[in-house]
Amino acid sequence: MAPSAIYDTAPSLSPSPSSPYRILVPEKLSPEGLSLLRSSGYQVDTPAARPAADELLRLIPAYHALIVRSETKVTAEVLAAAGPKLRVVARAGVGVDNIDVDAATKKGVVVVNSPSGNIVAAAEHTIALLLAAARNVGRADAGMKAGRWERGRLVGVEVGGKTLGVVGLGKVGMKVARMAKGLGMGVVVFDPYASAEVARQAGVELRGELEAVVREADFLTVHTPLLASTANLLGEKELRSMKPTARVLNVARGGVYNEEALLRALDEGWIAGAGLDVFTSEPPAEGSVAARLAAHPKVVSTPHLGASTVEAQENVSMDVCRQVVAILSGGLPTAAVNAPLILPEEYRRLQPFVKLVERMGSLYTQHFAGERGGMVGGRRFELVYHGELAGVNNTRPLLAALVKGLVSSISDLGGRDVNIVNATLVARERGIAIDEKHVRDVGGGAVVPTYASAVTLRSVSSDGGFDGEKEEQVIEGYVSGRAVYISKLGRFTANFQPQGTLLILHNYDEPGKIGNVGTALGRHGVNISSMQVAPLHGGSVVVGGDGGGRSTESDDGSLADSESRAANEALMILGVTGDVTQDVLQELGKSEGILHVNLVRLE
């Protein structure tokens, strides 16, 4: 099998020690998460008390990242006050109800959360409430503390042999179902998006209608987000159709059950009891329906403890902090709410290609467009994925990387304002159109068939055709291990790493050229750290060509001699250190046989 770019661990994302980024954490976060941020070189501010709304408006303009839990409200007003610095808002938890995601998206701010960090905690709390509701644990505890011995009044029911209805077979719902199976319960599920095969493998029975699950359940638990489609999902109709001995559970989101209908169901005996961890208002306002539910004798209530375990708090904290570090360092988040979800295995596969594509975009602008006044706008580009990479469906991070690379050398912020949320908008504003193609055969245009994946970047004219034979603007690259390589630059076959400061000389491949260039650079104190000669691809004769190639007649006017010489064109690609001034470039450009010189600076 050819090598591929899939790592056991993601590349280091630590910024330089001089990183100017500031992070505001107005709510309690685990010490491990804060330590990760600080050890990555960022300034982290943790106010002693959570700032009030007006204070947050005053503070936020100074920050590049904001990490919150459930209490801080990140409104459109807060996001507008943030100005251009803010790049990411992170929610240390699952829900983002307290964040105006639409406003963040319009502003180009990435919103991330931790959808997996508290799965076990939420599932275990659901089972705890299930057992507590079945055995009247809450009322028994309160009675004992009040000096009452009410053994005869608090007869419960066993859960073994009973049916648990699960609404929402996501990660938490699946975990609860498996735990319930361990208690000897049968499990029936309603989830319009669930796979029948996954349900079968889990040993649960999938139902096509919510009503079927509601009627069968002895216990009913919901595990859905609070959306327009799930608000009041379980109302009077559903509760009236349940068994009078049934009990309901909610460790998901307040509002999935219609609270007024649930209160009536308990008062009038439609159902036997409930275990509630979440409410429509938290803490429940005095006298509200939520408060009456929390105090109801048939309800075991807890103050939103579903994710409140030491382990879960550490998990979600570390998860979102890693994502903040990744975003501020130019990497990929693993759970962006307002962009396609990047799964861990996709992260490991895409991360090196994000780096490659960004370098290809920057190289294009500096090598090709640089000769034409830095013009990138008004062009269309083809970004072609070859081989295994063509099988990745979520390539939005690669598109964003290309936009960032294309504009990095011609924007005031060096492309740092481009992310996976606003990349399409930035491209549209600059007149850049990008087409993506997936080619399963790595040899389909790429010249690195020994590698499992490759990328081709091709410039296309506005009318849909290539820019012409004299301007074939193509860059191809691949990944090997942790390193990225360019395998084709224009018409020339190459194999170099796009990094640092590069001098790219288009010249006739004749004896003495390397020595002359080295001597010229030495006179100016410029050191050559690496060098490669890239020959003309295929050895074909092309008059004119990529960025500076031109026809020249011999002394006797023979075009044939000129064409013969053009057949020996090459690129000399030098990695250099030292101050490459305009004088150096001019001297090199005047050297015999040098057709063009480009200075390219890559991170």
Of 304, 416, 430, 438, the active-site residue reads 304
For residue 277, give the nearest of 138, 447, 157 by alpha carbon: 138
HEC per residue, 142-197: HHHHCCCCCHHHCCCCCCCCCEEEEECCCHHHHHHHHHHHHCCCEEEEECCCCCHH
Of 282, 469, 553, 603, the active-site residue reads 282
Query: For residues 579-591, b (16+ Cβ closer than 10 Å) or e, as one string?
Result: ebeeebeebbeee
For residues 521, 523, 526 and 528, what is the CA-based torsion angle, rounded to 10 degrees? 50
In sequence order, the 6+-apart residues with CB closer than 8 A to the CB of 57 are 77, 78, 81
* Pair 220, 214: CB distance under 8 Å: yes
* Pair 250, 166: CB distance under 8 Å: no
Q: Compute CA distances 142 → 132, 297, 304, whole Å.
A: 13, 10, 19
Catalytic residue status for 200: no
Catalytic residue status for 253: yes
* DSSP helix, strand, coil percent of the chain (3-state; round to 5): 35, 20, 45
Other CB atoms within 10 A of residue 27 CB: 15
| Cis amide bond preceding 47, omega within 30 | no
Measured distance CA(515)–CA(443) in Å, rounded: 36
* Pair 130, 177: CB distance under 8 Å: no
H or E stretch at 518: helix 513-523
Of 69, 87, 207, 253, the active-site residue reads 253
The two counts, helices (H) then strands (E), for the chain are 19, 22
Give the residue numbers marked as catalytic.
253, 282, 304
